[in-house]
Amino acid sequence: MGMLMVPPMMISLPIKILMFILIDGWFIVTKSLMESFYT
């Protein structure tokens, strides 16, 4: 509807930030899991 009026940068930037947070979050979770398994 109003998506054509929004510049692509306004859409891609939040998605990139979300992806970074998700990947970083998964990395922290897996790292803490590994540490709990090996201790």
31/29 Cα distance (integer angstroms): 5
Mean pLDDT over 33-37 rounds to: 90
Q: What angle do CA 29, 12, 25 make, to 5 degrees?
A: 5
**How does pLDDT run across 3-31, given as a tens digit for each residue?**
677 777 788 888 999 999 999 999 999 99
**Which amino acid belongs to residue 37?**
F
The percent helix, strand, coil of the chain (3-state, each to 5) is: 85, 0, 15
Q: How confident is the model at residue 2, as a pLDDT?
A: 59
Q: How far is CA 17 from CA 14, 29, 36, 37, in A?
A: 5, 18, 28, 30
